[in-house]
Amino acid sequence: MAKIDFGGVVEEVVTLEEFPLEKAKKVLADETVAVLGYGVQGPAQALNMKDNGISVIVGQREGGERWEKAIQDGFLPGETLFSLEEAAEQATIIQYLISDAGQMAAWPRIKPCLKEGDALYFSHGFSIVYKDQTGVVPPENIDVILVAPKGSGRSVRLNFLDGSGINASYAVFQDFTGRAEERTLAIGMAVGSGYLFPTTFKNEVRSDLTGERGVLMGCLAGVFEAQYNVLRKNGHSPSEAFNETVEELTQSLIRLVAENGMDWMYANCSTTAQRGALDWKGRFRDAVTPVFEELYHSVVSGEETRIVLEANSAPDYSERLRKELDEIKNSEMWRAGAAVRGLRPENR
């Protein structure tokens, strides 16, 4: 492992220098990896492993849209594409990548398919950490491992194709074979990780649920709406409000942050922007800290898990979700966004 200084705290990470792809392929040479679920993470991880020369099969409900997507991506029914149970029975490493609520529902059918010495792989610690709610309790004679890419499935695939990779955390929950960590690192590199950093199932799910509800999605969308609404209330046009709230961030400033950090972004903006940002960032931090504390407590307590499982298991969930997303799509702010995106040179 490589020792890296993360802001004064030294952590160990695994890069392709310590665990090259050729080593991963040797570790996985006699393994068959079944990707159960072809929704968000499944396609990217399956295709990346396939492109890296790993023996991969897919398990998915026959006849649905995602079954057809797997066929379009080159998986063949009866050869590399099977039902969930058939794929699990054939594999030695079972990637359990269906939705969290789906994992709970399918577990009674998947558990009997697991053989001694198999590895059960997750990209999220949800089902294992909140086993009292999900009922997902693995048998003792298998490895239980995790690789959690820090990005959407789309980003996992695109980063792999452009050669950059995507950072991922990894963890071992149960080591029956004595090879669990080696298998985890090999799979982590095979699915296209830029580097791997160690975590635990508990820490992964707590940070992930907090991040999704916080800065990455929930907080971001809420802050966008707040600033846009204030600008519109004070007479600014939809175009001006959207550009100052979203477009400049996503098309300019966040790229500067990604390149060299927040201080570098500040240094490459006007002195007026620098001064104002430095003066106001503390007030925003102090204002939202109590919300993040409440959010983290809700994650740790299992309340967020309860909400997810209850909502996602409802028969009309897809219909209700579509209505919620349509409310966002059809709001003035995001209709303005569609118009702004349409004016970008590459879209004209």
Residue pLDDT tens, the chain, 348 long = 788 888 888 888 999 999 999 999 999 999 999 999 999 899 999 999 999 999 999 999 998 899 999 999 999 999 999 999 999 999 999 999 999 999 999 999 999 999 999 999 999 999 999 999 999 999 999 999 999 999 889 999 999 999 888 999 999 999 999 999 999 999 999 999 989 999 999 999 999 999 999 999 999 999 999 999 999 999 999 999 999 999 999 999 999 999 999 999 999 999 999 999 999 999 999 999 999 999 999 999 999 999 999 999 999 999 999 999 999 999 999 999 999 999 988 887
Q: What does the pLDDT read at residue 9?
A: 86
pLDDT attached to residue 264: 93
Indicate whether 152 and 63 sit together in one domain.
Answer: yes
Please check whether residue 204 lies inside any domain of the structure. no
Q: Structural domain of residue 255, as residue ranges?
A: 211-347
The CA-atom distances, in angstroms, between 277 and each of 236, 251, 281 are 21, 18, 6
In a domain, residue 206? The reply is: no
Q: Which of 173, 199, 225 is at the close of a domain?
A: 199
Same domain, 224 and 189: no
Cα angle value 260/265/269 (rounded, 5°):
150
- How long is the chain? 348
To the question of pTM greater than 0.85 for the whole model, the response is: yes
Spatial CA neighbour of 41 closest among 218, 176, 193: 193
pLDDT for position 151:
87
Q: Are residues 194 and 246 in the same domain?
A: no
- Looking at residue 194, its pLDDT comes to 85
CB 246 within 8 A of CB 337: yes
Residue 348 pLDDT: 72
Please check whether residues 294 and 152 belong to one and the same domain. no
Number of domains into which the chain is organized:
2
Active-site residue list = 124
How many Å from the N-terminal Cα to the C-terminal Cα in the chain? 48
pLDDT value for 127: 95
Query: How far apart are alpha carbons 121 and 145 in whole angstroms?
Result: 5
Residue 8's pLDDT is 84
Q: What is the pLDDT of residue 1?
A: 75
Does residue 15 form part of some domain? Answer: yes
How many C-beta atoms surround the C-beta of residue 116 within 10 A? Answer: 10
> Is 205 inside a domain boundary?
no
